[in-house]
């Protein structure tokens, strides 16, 4: 039989736990923490750039559809 999950069960990413443990042991003002903090910022900026690109793609597709629906009518 499988192990039943309880509401209080916590699942922790082993990689995240590894870095949290390193942060605790290295001290708040260490070079390690400075680099790790900067890498978090860069990671979030990378995600933001992906989101921005996707928004642009969706906007371009929407504007193309609007142009396709338009019909030019000449008035005399």
- Summarised one tens digit per residue, pLDDT across range 56-76 is 999 998 887 776 666 778 888
Say what the pTM is. Answer: 0.53
Domain-wise residue ranges, the chain: 14-68
Angle at the Cα of 7 (from 5 to 9), degrees rounded to 5? 65
State the DSSP string of the chain: -PPPP-TT-----HHHHHHHHHHHHH-TTSHHHHHHHHHHHHHHHHHHHHHHHHHHHHHHHHHHHHHHH-------
Segment 12-63, tens digit of pLDDT: 888 888 888 888 888 778 888 888 889 989 999 999 999 999 999 999 988 8
């Amino acid at each position: 039989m499988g192990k039943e999950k309880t509401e209080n069960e916590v699942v922790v990413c082993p990689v995240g736990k590894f870095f949290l443990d390193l942060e605790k042991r290295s001290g708040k003002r260490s070079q390690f923490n400075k680099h790790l903090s900067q890498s978090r910022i860069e990671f979030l900026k990378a995600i933001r750039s992906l989101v921005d690109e996707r928004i642009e793609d969706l906007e371009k597709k929407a504007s193309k559809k609007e142009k396709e629906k338009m019909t030019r009518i000449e008035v005399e």
